[in-house]
Amino acid sequence: MSKTSYKIVLLPGDGIGPEVTHAAVKVLDRASALHGIKLDYTTYRAGADYYRETGKSMDETEMAALADAHAILLGAMGLPSIRKPDGTEIAPQIDIREKYGLVASLRPCKYFPGVPSRIQADKVDMLVIRELTEGLFAGRHDPIPESNESMSDRLVITRQGCEKLFKVAFEQARFRRKTYGTPGHVTLLDKANVLRSNAFMRKVFDEVAQRYPDVQTDRIYIDAGSMMFVTQPERFDVVVTENVFGDITSEIGAGVVGGLGVAPSADVNDEMAVFQPSHGTAPDIAGQGLANPVAMILSAVMMLDWLSGKHDDVRCAQAAASLREAVAQVLKSGPKTRDIGGQASTEEVTAAIVEQLGAASNQGAQHG
């Protein structure tokens, strides 16, 4: 059921995170006003800077309050210069995934005309789905043995985790086919020829696939599939894989379509979602107005689509479509930031997208 207003939590984070979050809010405000949507924002601090001040990556009360939000927008978190005693970076985004069981990361890799790419393929439109809580991240909190000779990480694949993950993949294939006209196809990337855990993962995939006879499937080894991301990216629709494999292949996919500056993502389960750009905090350019806001803005588009689906709200779907088209037009004609061949600032790109939203709305009203 449509809501009179949606509660959105903002987690701007570190580095360029606050800058791109501010940009996303500006375009969301414009899109929501045009389509009669009310978004109520609450901002919480989390990340490396917060850890430096408090010794915690996020306040426990505010972490618990995330459950009450309709959606969460996260800028970027972590700084290489600030680390835990074990040497790892501060990553509350991972803590959120684990606390709330966000089983899958949805990472669209779509080519937009006007974005420079080293790959000669102009119709790339795939969705990489990365498992989030198992795989090689399963032992993240295991006790560390006192040894200067060896170290190991635990890889775990469970039936429950796989079934949740593959349900997301097949449902996304159906959604994309209905909404965007994509093929409705799911490819599993694994290493089932060597790793017993991956052979088990493939077995569960085959079982879940039988429940979706309308969705075609492939199973490809991760090494060959990674090569195909570069040589045949247009062959993929929905790709699903283990945690670390998905972390790597989603960035390959982003590179194919022009880089992390145009790569959004969403961490989801059936009830909750965190939307964030795939890029990091880029502390070397923070505060200089050089950050590309497009990945964060496209993550906001994903948020609107999510709200539309969860609450049967056609206004959110319309806002998502108009904002996606506005981004596409600006990427095609400019202005663009330096990472994708332009010279514009974060603010200039944001303003252009806001202006494009207004222009499209006025044109639609005149035609109506």
Provide the pLDDT confidence category of residue 361 given band limits of 50, 70 and 90: low
Residue-averaged pLDDT of the chain: 94
Rounded-to-integer distance, Cα 234 and Cα 255, Å = 14
Using CA atoms, how far residue 280 sits from 14, 79, 153, 304, in Å, is 9, 9, 24, 22
DSSP annotation of 143 reads P
pLDDT at 139 over 70: yes
Region for residue 345 given its phi and psi (left: phi exceeds 0; alpha: psi -120 to 50; beta: otherwise): beta
Using CA atoms, how far residue 163 sits from 85, 95, 176, 201, 207, in Å, is 35, 22, 20, 9, 9
pLDDT at 124 over 60: yes
Nearest to 105 by CA among 240, 202, 221: 240
Q: What is the pLDDT of residue 362?
A: 62
pLDDT at 364 over 60: no
Provide the pLDDT confidence category of residue 119 given band limits of 50, 70 and 90: confident
Q: What is the pLDDT of residue 363?
A: 60
Convert the pLDDT of each residue in 14-49 to its tens digit.
Answer: 999 999 999 999 999 999 999 999 999 999 999 999
Task: Give the count of beta carbons closer than 10 Å to the beta carbon of residue 95.
Answer: 16
pLDDT at 203 over 80: yes
pLDDT at 168 over 90: yes
Burial (Cβ within 10 Å: 0-12, 13-18, ≥19) of residue 139: middle
Q: What is the pLDDT of residue 143?
A: 85
pLDDT at 74 over 70: yes
Q: Provide CB contacts within 8 A for 305, sequence distance 6+.
A: 179, 316, 317, 320
Provide the pLDDT confidence category of residue 206 given band limits of 50, 70 and 90: very high
Q: Which two structure tokens, joined as six digits, stand for 287?
A: 């505060």
pLDDT at 211 over 70: yes
Rounded-to-integer distance, Cα 340 and Cα 114, Å = 9
Q: What is the pLDDT of residue 78?
A: 95
Average pLDDT of the residues in 328-350: 97
Tell how strand 6-13 and strand 39-43 pair up. parallel
Q: What is the pLDDT of residue 368?
A: 54
Instruction: Tell me what percent of the residues of the chain surpass a pLDDT of 90.
Output: 85
DSSP annotation of 66 reads G
CA 169 to chain centre: 14
Burial (Cβ within 10 Å: 0-12, 13-18, ≥19) of residue 289: middle
Instruction: Give yes or no for a cis peptide into 264 (omega within 30° of 0).
Output: no
Q: What is the pLDDT of residue 87?
A: 84
Q: What is the pLDDT of residue 137?
A: 81
CA 299 to chain centre: 6
Average pLDDT of the residues in 318-333: 97
Rounded-to-integer distance, Cα 300 and Cα 303, Å = 5
Q: What is the pLDDT of residue 305?
A: 94
